[in-house]
Structure formats: C-alpha cells, structure tokens
Structure 1
Amino acid sequence: MGEQPDYFVKSAEKTLAVLLAFNAAHKSLTVTEVAGAIGVSRAAARRFLLTLVDLGYLEVEGSAYRQTPRVLDIGASYLAGLTLPQVARPHLQALANRLSETTSLCVLDDQDILYVERISNPRLHSMTVSIGNRLPAWATSMGRVLVAELPEAAREEFLNNAKLQHYTAKTVSSIDELRAELDTVREQGWSLVAQELDEGLRGLAVPVYRGAQLLGALNVSVQPGRIGSASITDEMLPLMRQAAIDIADDFGGRTAEQN
C-alpha cells in the first residue's frame, strides 16, 4: 500500500477499525483481542476502547467490551429512510407463506416485548396480538432470546425485576428455573416456549443481529397438534435463521462471514 496523503488521520482509521472488529461472531472482545485485530499495542488498543466507552459507543463488563446501540447513529443518516418493520415485512411474509404459520418481529422494552411487525396466518388461535402490543418478556420465546443475549449485569437486573405469574400449568415457576432456561437459550441461540403463556400455543424465536447489534427477535407461532417440538426446530430453525440474516443484511447489516 502506498503512502497515505498528508490529510490522512491514522487515529480516525484505527478508531473505525476498533468498531468494525466487533461482529456477530465476536460480540465481546478484550483489549488483547482488539490489539491483535487492528494491529496496535495493548496500550494503544486500551486507549481507543476507553475513549469509545466515554463516547457511549462501547460498554465494558469486566475485561470484555461490547458495542452499544449508539453505534447505529453512525449510519443513521443513510438509514433514515428505512425502518426495521419495513425491511422485515417481506421476509416475515415469505416465511409465513413457507411455513403456513404466523411470524413476528419483536424488540425488548424493559420487562416486555413489543411487537413491531407481524404477519398473521389465517388459522385462528386463542391469542390475538397486533403491532404495538406488549407481552411479558420472561414468558415468551422472543423475550427469552432477547434477555438471554443481554450482558450478564443487565440480564440479572431483568431477573431481579421480573414478576412471574401463573398463566398455565406449564408456566415457568421460579426465577432460578427461568435463569437456567436463559442460560440454555444463550448457549443454543434460539428459544422454544410451549404453552407457558397460552394453552396449546408454541413459539420459536431466534435473534436478529445487525453486525454485533441485536435488533430484535424473529418468532414463529406454531399451532397445537401440527408437529412435535423436535420437528419444529428441525423444520423451522434453518428457515428462521436465514430470514434473520436476510433482514439484517437488508437493513444494512453484515453477516459474520463477511467480517
């Protein structure tokens, strides 16, 4: 590579390189990992990281750093004409048509999930929700995916504030049981909730990432008696994960393979 022009600011290049080092495969990075990724000393990497923490673009927990939603501001002007529901809708529609089930996109808002887009299947079921509706995050597959992906401190804060309620005979019964379920969801990358919020209804959810940022959760609501739990994950998970990637890519995201 030739010499850089006189105006070139090397620190600006390195700052952007730090932000781009984070992606779906590397959501948390240590000082050493960042130093190796951008080719600087640990001391220099630490200065870049702490500066970005002070500016609100990164957060630190122990020795690990993560991006915050503020990084989305960098591309805000380019994406100003796009909204996540608009981008997600054709993908949710295609998935609903493929599976003949209801599909949704939700975000986490404090202790609730908020529906931002939903494509209903003609089959009727006892639970009717619309865009803008809220449900308790701890009792839904979407909520568990979103809470499981939170940093540990934020996840514990959520659990400390959660108010469990007995909806059905299968509703999770304790915070310890819920914490164990969240650990499983975080490890496997998806959540299946069966008849905990509504009798007979099962929900399968996967996270939707834009780069290293969690945009929301994609959900398929499965009617009772259609297929067993094992068949749900075998049939639906690959299609849902691809739809989540497609939504993120259309919204300006980059898959882990591209980083």
Structure 2
Amino acid sequence: MRKNHKSPTESPQSSKPRRTRSENGDFVKSLERGLAVIQAFGADNPRLSLSDVARLTEMTRAAARRYLLSLKQLGFVGSDGKLFWLEPHVLNLGYSYLSSVSWVDFAQPILRDVADRLSESCSASVLDGTEIVYVARVQASRIISINLTVGTRLPAAVTSMGRVLLAGLSPDELNRTLAAVKLHRYTENTVRSIEELRKILQTVRDQQYAYVDQELENGLRSIAVPIVGSRGETIGAVNIGAHVIRVKKADMVGRNLDVLREAAAKISAQSRVRPV
C-alpha cells in the first residue's frame, strides 16, 4: 500500500476542496505555486525532472525552473542537474505543524498502551481536505501488508478515522469537502456514492465511532473514535486496524471499542488542559 494515492499525472491539489481565495490582493499566488512544487514530490514521485514538475503543477517550464532553483537555494530541494528531489530541510515545515498540535506529544504513550493491550497497531490522524494525515502511530509487532507512518495520507471517505473526522464537520464544511471527494473503487466493499457516504457519516455521528471493513484494502478492517477539543469539536481521530483473519467484526467493535474510547477520552482531556 502506497503512502498516498496520487499518480504522476494528477495535480498535487486535486484531492483538496477548493478554498475561496481573496480577491482584494491578499492572496499571494507565488506562495501557492511554490508550495505546489513541494507537493509535487511524494512516495510515487521522489525524483522529478523539470518537465515532470511543470506538468504536475501546470506551470511553464520556465516558471517551474524558477521555483525549483529558489527552493534549492533555500535548502528545500536538491538536484543533480537533471532530476530534483526534496531535502530533509522540508521536514521543518511538517515539524512546525506537529509542534503546534499539543495533543500529539502526549497521545503517543496512550497509543502505545492501546497497542500493547490489544496487540494491534494504533494510530491518530487529522483531516486535511479530503484526506487524513497520520500524526502519531504505534506499530504492533504483527506483520501487516499496509505500511503506514507519520505523514502518511489516505482518502478520508474510505477510512475509519476519515469518517470520524468527516462526521465531525459542520454541515457547510462537510458539503464543501464532499464536493471535492472523488470516490475510487479500491475493493468490492468500497462505498460507491456520495449519497451512500452521507448516510454512513450520519450513522457515525449518531454512534460516535466508525467501523470500516475492507474498503481501502482487502483483508483490512478498522475502527475509530473522535478526539474532542475544549469546545466539543472533533480535533482528531484514533483507530486500530486488524486483519480479517485475526479479528472478527463482532470482536472489532465489542472487544476494542471501549479501549479506544478510553484512550480518546484521555487525549481529549489533555487537549483541554493544554489547548490545541
């Protein structure tokens, strides 16, 4: 399983809902384009030519070259004269975000406790457009086919944490986000329509947890609950994933839900003491 689901022919912004841009001159187009160049790189595109970057960002070669050379001078991009790649300095951007989300630090030992008690991998994520981004994870000792790390992005519509996060949006936010969702048939179980997804999200909202059975990858099922902020808003999600051969559906909910809710409550309580 790849860490993201973008192909080299897709725009790096294709999975994000369109945001209304200021028309009074406050919006800086050059900043947007510079960030688009950075986002063109990924697990599927670790090294790109100038032409690749121009195509992925929908820029001219001349414009892409200027941005790449500027980013190279700033230490974010490396090059051998033919290909370009991201340098470790770009991690500072992500670290700045993780440092600003105070609950991530104290979530890690709580996730570790869940993983130890249930012998399954436990993760936490936040919503970014139509995707979830993993911000904390404890891998169980069991071998699983999916490779997930901090920074991994997955489609929110077909993941348990994604559905918890989507269900926590306001009606207007949810409408904007779902308008940008492009459903892909990953398995026979994958949700097929936005209308069906809306019904599922209402159930998630009512029961305060999401259960997903083999919608992203055959053999993988997961369950997630929300992390709640000081104003009652959903600020994140925590989940566990397991193989269908090892954990039955009834056990996935019956055995694991209370443990997950206890963990989420601890993280939620800490977030209120140390506001995000």
Relative to the length of structure 1, the TM-score reads 0.65
Residue 242 (structure 2) aligned to one of 222, 230, 236: 222
Match of 1:203 among 201, 222, 227: 222
AA partner of residue 157 (structure 1): R
Identity, in percent, stands at 40
Aligned residue for 1:233?
Answer: 253
- For residues 183-208 of structure 1, give each alpha carbon's deviation from its aligned partner in whole angstroms, at most 9, with x where no partner exists: 11111110000100011001100000
Q: Which residue of 1 aligns with 2:233?
A: 213
Which residue does the alignment assign to 2:264? Answer: 244
Match in the other structure for 2:167? 148
Q: Work out whether residues 222 and 252 of structure 2, in 8 Å CA contact, stay in contact via their aligned partners in 1.
A: no
Q: Which runs of 4+ in 1 moved over 6 A?
A: none
In the alignment of these two chains, the number of paired residues is 175
Deviations, residues 104-138 of structure 1 (Å, cap 9, x unaligned): 00000111100000000111121111101100111
Counterpart of 2:256 in 1: which secondary structure?
Answer: helix
- CA drift of 1:223 comes to 1.8
Query: Offset of 1:172 from its aligned partner?
Result: 0.7
* Alpha-carbon RMSD: 1.7
Instruction: Check conservation: 1:87, 1:251, Cα contact below 8 A.
Output: no
Note closer, same or farther for the CA distance 1:189–1:81 as it changes in structure 2 (3 Å cut). Answer: closer
Q: Which amino acid aligns with 2:165?
A: L
1:230 partner SS: helix
> 1:33-64, CA deviations, whole angstroms, 9 ceiling, x for partnerless residues?
xxxxxxxxxxxxxxxxxxxxxxxxxxxxxxxx
Q: State the 1:155 CA deviation.
A: 1.0
In the alignment, which residue of structure 1 is the partner of 2:84? none
Task: Find the counterpart in structure 1 of residue 34 from structure 2.
Answer: none
Q: 1:204 to 1:253 in 2, by over 3 A?
A: farther
Partner SS state of residue 121, structure 1 = coil
Letter in 2 for 1:129: L
2:191 aligns with 172
Unaligned runs of 5+ in 1: 1-79, 255-259
**Gap change, CA 1:132 and 1:82, over 3 Å in 2:** closer
- Check whether the contact 1:209–1:253 (CA below 8 A) recurs between aligned residues: no
